[in-house]
Amino acid sequence: MFYISKMTPFFFLLAFTDLFIAVFSQALGFDYVFVGILGVFGFILHTIIGAAYQIIPNSQQTQLKNEKLQIFVFITSALGSFFIFMQNYPIAALFTLTAVVIFTVHVLPALKNLQPVTIKFLVASLVYMNVGAFLFAMAYIPVQGLPFVPFQLAVHTITAGVMLNAIIGVEIAWIPMLLMHTLNVKLARGVFYILQLGIAVLLIGFGMLNYKVVAAGSVVILAGLLLFLWIVFNAVRNTTHKEIPYVIKFFIAGQVFLIAGLLSGAHLAGSENFDMVPLHMNLMVFGFGGLTIAGAMFHLLPRIVWNMVHVKKAQEGKQIPNVFNILKKNEAMLSFYILIIGVILMAGATFIDLNTTRYLANLVFVVGLLFFFRALFYRLYLLYTL
């Protein structure tokens, strides 16, 4: 790696904490607004900021200046999470907006080559990140003379505009690379433009509170995702690997939940059956977001920690350990299966009006998160302290 962000692991730990508390809170019966805000403006947003601090400089082969700004962004992000925990959304929104603006100012000078399709996705994600953080503040801090901002618009600006762009943009580069397959750039650009159209229509619909337009935007996004899945299918079909890397299994499982989440969202919007909101949230935030981000952390974090250990051990004149001797594939796959079962049970529990069912379903996902923590964070801690 050309550049190592020492703050990325801390952002990932913060995001994991957000996710753990969001799922546990849902198990205890907290309302879906709290769970959704913590999942979106905590877990998802903090993961993407942390990952971007690593991915953007490396994609541009450059170093970030004023690295200590990352610490300030992390502190403001953590304070944002804290005030979400306290359900003080106005103050949380201010800290979130502050973190996003400073993060943007920090990484923007590094973005010089905008031609790669992955960078186009990341730039779009960065734009929507600022818009979403601003809308979050406007939704909870009404200002006289400014228009009313629906809460749904702020949330979906992050989930559709930020999360979808960031994840698809990174996966469209990582999956062919991990499978040693050449990316079809023309198809990848097609995915980018179709998704931007669909996201724009979706957000316009939420801004107007016109759910028929929201449903139409979901259909356009689905078309772009089907084209993306064709790229993934070709990469998997033509790979020379005897077995698909487990990271890609996380990505593919996430895509399955994304399709299910989009279909549920389109039906929800078209029928205006808002009782389906918890189902849609579970599929998108914990299914798509949870599985995909877990896979991304398994791919990115070991390389960051290994490079940090490499420098430390080289300075001490000691032997450098191999990260793949530290991480255990069977532990990663155990967390994979438990998380999938957890999401399916959580989705099913939304149809059963029983507290015990909801509690047990979310508890399964929590157990999956604990196994994930052991498989990744604990194992990398052992590597770092060798």
Does residue 188 fall inside a structural domain? no
pLDDT recorded at residue 1? 55
Confidence label for 314 from pLDDT (cuts 50, 70 and 90): low
| Total count of residues recorded for the chain | 386
In the numeric block, the tokens 């403001």 are attached to: 76
Confidence label for 5 from pLDDT (cuts 50, 70 and 90): confident
Does residue 153 fall inside a structural domain? no
Contact between 385 and 313 (Cβ < 8 Å): no
* Sign, CA torsion 274/279/282/284: negative
Residue 25 has a CB neighbour count (10 Å cut-off) of: 17
Does residue 238 fall inside a structural domain? no
The whole-angstrom separation of Cα 285 and Cα 291 is 9
Query: Structurally, how many domains does the chain consist of?
Result: 1
> Which letter does DSSP use for residue 111 in this model?
-
Range of the domain at 75: 1-113
The whole-angstrom separation of Cα 93 and Cα 154 is 11
pLDDT at residue 144 is higher than 80 = no
**Average pLDDT over every residue of 336-358:** 93
Does residue 84 fall inside a structural domain? yes
| Closest to 93 in 3D by CA, of 155, 161, 13, 9 | 155
pLDDT tens-digit profile of 38-96? 999 999 999 999 999 999 999 888 888 888 899 999 999 999 999 999 999 999 999 99
- In the chain, the amino acid numbered 60 is Q
**Average pLDDT over every residue of 182-189:** 88
H/E stretch holding 29: none
For the stretch 231-247, what's the b/e string if a residue is b when 16 or more beta carbons lie within 10 angstroms of its beta carbon?
A: bbebbbeebeeeebbbb
In the numeric block, the tokens 């159209």 are attached to: 197
CA 94-129-27 angle, to 5 degrees, is 75
- Give DSSP secondary structure letters for 269-312: HHHT-GGGHHHHHIIIIIIIIHHHHHHHHHHHHHHHHHHHHHHH
pLDDT recorded at residue 326? 78
The whole-angstrom separation of Cα 213 and Cα 35 is 26
Does residue 57 fall inside a structural domain? yes
Who contacts 334 (Cβ-Cβ below 8 Å, separation ≥6)? 371, 375
Phi, psi (rounded to 5 degrees) for 114:
-100, 10
Who contacts 222 (Cβ-Cβ below 8 Å, separation ≥6)? 198, 259, 262, 263, 266
For the stretch 350-382, what's the b/e string if a residue is b when 16 or more beta carbons lie within 10 angstroms of its beta carbon?
A: beeeeeebbeebbbbbbebbebbeebbbebbee
Contact between 117 and 192 (Cβ < 8 Å): yes
pLDDT tens-digit profile of 281-311? 999 999 999 999 999 999 999 988 888 887 6
Encoding tokens for residue 209? 């509170």
Encoding tokens for residue 253? 């499982």
Average pLDDT, the chain: 91
The whole-angstrom separation of Cα 193 and Cα 335 is 35
Is the pTM of the predicted complex or chain greater than 0.85? Answer: yes
pLDDT recorded at residue 241? 78
> Which letter does DSSP use for residue 64 in this model?
P
pLDDT tens-digit profile of 220-256? 999 999 999 999 998 888 887 788 899 999 999 999 9
Does residue 279 fall inside a structural domain? no
pLDDT tens-digit profile of 250-288? 999 999 999 999 999 998 888 888 888 999 999 999 999
- In the chain, the amino acid numbered 123 is V
Who contacts 281 (Cβ-Cβ below 8 Å, separation ≥6)? 32, 35, 36, 39
Half-sphere exposure of 132 (CA within 13 A, CB side): 28
Share of the chain above pLDDT 90, in %: 70
Does residue 219 fall inside a structural domain? no
Does residue 16 fall inside a structural domain? yes
**Average pLDDT over every residue of 100-122:** 93
